[in-house]
Amino acid sequence: MSARPNPESAEHVVVNALGEFLASPPAGTPGDVIEALTLMAGNAADPLPPRLFFEAVEQAPSAISITDARARILYVNRAFELLTGYTRDEVIGENESILSNKATPENIYQHLWRTIQGKQTWTGTLVNRTRQGGDYLAELTIAPVLEQGGGLKYFLGMHRDVTKVHELEGELRRQKMRIETVLDAAPVVVVLLDAEGRVLLDNQACKKLSGELAGREPAQAFSAALREQVGLDPLVECLSGRAFKDLEISIAAPGSSGPRWFSCSGTPADELDPSARGFFGRQKKGERRMLLLANEVTARRREIERAHLENLRARLAEQQLTHSLHETMAASIYQIQAPMNVIQAAAALARSGSASLETLAEMLEDISRSGTKALDTLKAALPEGPREPGVMVNVNELLRQVLELETDRLLAAGIVVDWRPSHLLPELPGHKDSLRSLFKHLIDNAIQAVNESGRPQRDLLLATRSVDGAVEVAVQDNGRGIPFEDRYRVFEPFYIGWRNRRGRAGMGLPMAQEIVNAHGGYIEVDPDYQDGCRIHLTLSAVPADQ
């Protein structure tokens, strides 16, 4: 039989206070507190002897204290001593406020006291100070213990240090904030979906798009578009562990002038098993998620579509021009046929001497009429030159562009290009397209000249320099050259000096001269250059047509 506890002893206080408490736990006492204290007391049918019950409280891992009804400490256990740094001798008889670091707001204490004086259990967090002066966060439960008559007899306090938990929670919050800040700053739509396609996390760009789609969930819109337009179910792909990248889809957006285009990428994301079994790496297979990224590419798409349309339009216009030129030429050839026939008939008549002068005159008039008609048809078919607006042009840049365009032809002809642009070249007012076609024509001539020369070593030199505010361009090749006596004739219309005349009309250099003149300059064949042909042209800062 165990000895009866001394009414004044710690054992008496503990057994008495906890016994009363467990007999009728006050409202609001957390279940785990009741459970922990019940375990120490043994079960109701077979209670532990008081000594063992006391020992269990002594050794309990939580800091336990028992006070009188005014918070004066009657008992503290080992864990309380270890946590607070106070020995029991130092705190018995003191108020629990000895633990206060005076940083807990007054209203918390008021609520604490209102609750426990109302005979209910209070649970909350206070900032405590140890004997050594260190602060810690105490998660505290205070339960009132009533005497037989119902008055307050003891308060039972249990607390533990939750500083680390608080720090970890703070770190977690900060991490979350950092991630959210980065995600929200990203201009792309970011959504994390679970296996059922529910949104777990999204960023500002996604929320904004949802507003623009009149509340439609962007992830759903992207998934539907990927299924319909690409034939891929993004969720099925990612749940099977397959990522996809840069798939372009369009979605209809209310209020937008056309569809909006997005480049979508999806990545499977496995979440770790947070349960305890994962500690040694034996986690269960975590839940698989899908991280969906969508980057709006509408502007780029529209630009591509616009360029494509422009290209198509230009090709159609070109085709139309060629077609109508062909038709007009055919008509003119047919119309010229008539005066030719009459000329032949008139010539035959004149030779035989059988036609009167009057008849011959009539025939000549007929020839004149049908010839004029054919000429009119041809004149009407002459295409109008494009009117290009004048801008400031950089001759080096235009020459470089033409060289790039001509690269394949130059390589095919085995020509070595010596490109010597002047680094200090003034910009000139000019017409870019006309100047490009001028340079292209001169380079095309150089290619034909070296091809016709049959030389094994083929060179083309292009040089620019600034002369009194104007720009001088030299195009020099080591081809067959232009005979000295032809150096002016080559600028006459319809003059053709090439051996291979195919596709040549003798209008290239006259047109080149016209372009140079329109730019207030002049063009000439250098008479002193003997090793091929060197063309000099000057473009003035004041164009002739401005």
Kindly list the residues in this chain that would bind ligand FAD in the complex (CB under 6 A). Answer: 65, 67, 70-71, 95-97, 99-100, 102, 104, 106, 109-110, 113, 117, 126, 128, 138, 140, 142, 155, 157, 159
Q: Which is nearer to ligand FAD, 95 or 322 (CB)?
A: 95
Element (H, E) at 21: helix 10-23
Contact 218, 189 (CB under 8 A): yes
Tokens representing 51 are 């000594």
Closest approach of ligand FAD to the CB of residue 53, in Å: 20
Closest approach of ligand FAD to the CB of residue 96, in Å: 3
Closest approach of ligand FAD to the CB of residue 255, in Å: 60
Tokens representing 235 are 């969720």
**For residues 229-242, b (16+ Cβ closer than 10 Å) or e, as one string?**
eeebebbebbbeee
Q: Which is nearer to ligand FAD, 76 or 410 (CB)?
A: 76
Three-state SS sequence of 398-439:
HHHHHHHHCHHHHHHCCEEEEEECCCCCCCEEECHHHHHHHH
Q: Which is nearer to ligand FAD, 110 or 372 (CB)?
A: 110
Give the Cα separation of 370 and 336 in Å (integer). Answer: 7
Q: Which is nearer to ligand FAD, 113 or 522 (CB)?
A: 113
CA trace torsion 214, 215, 216, 219 (10° rounding):
120
DSSP 137-165: EEEEEEEEEE-TTS-EEEEEEEEEE-HHH
Instruction: DSSP letter for 183, please.
Output: H
Closest approach of ligand FAD to the CB of residue 181, in Å: 36
Q: Which is nearer to ligand FAD, 96 or 406 (CB)?
A: 96
Closest approach of ligand FAD to the CB of residue 42, in Å: 24
**In angstroms, what CA-CA distances link 107 with 103, 110, 358?**
12, 5, 132
Q: Which is nearer to ligand FAD, 35 or 106 (CB)?
A: 106
Q: Which is nearer to ligand FAD, 143 or 471 (CB)?
A: 143
Q: Which of 160, 219, 168 is nearest to 33 (CA)?
A: 160
Give the Cα separation of 222 and 233 in Å (integer). Answer: 10
Closest approach of ligand FAD to the CB of residue 63, in Å: 8
Residue 85 region by backbone torsions, left for phi larger than 0, else alpha for psi between -120 and 50, else beta: left
Give the Cα separation of 211 and 218 in Å (integer). Answer: 9
Q: Which is nearer to ligand FAD, 20 or 406 (CB)?
A: 20
- Beta-sheet pairing, 73-76 with 63-68: antiparallel
Contact 355, 346 (CB under 8 A): yes
Closest approach of ligand FAD to the CB of residue 35, in Å: 20
Residues 6+ apart with CB under 8 A from 362: none
Closest approach of ligand FAD to the CB of residue 268, in Å: 49
Closest approach of ligand FAD to the CB of residue 97, in Å: 3
Beta strands in 322-366 (DSSP E): none
Residue found by looking up tokens 């139309």 in the block:
320
Closest approach of ligand FAD to the CB of residue 32, in Å: 18
Q: Which is nearer to ligand FAD, 155 or 222 (CB)?
A: 155
Q: Which is nearer to ligand FAD, 87 or 341 (CB)?
A: 87
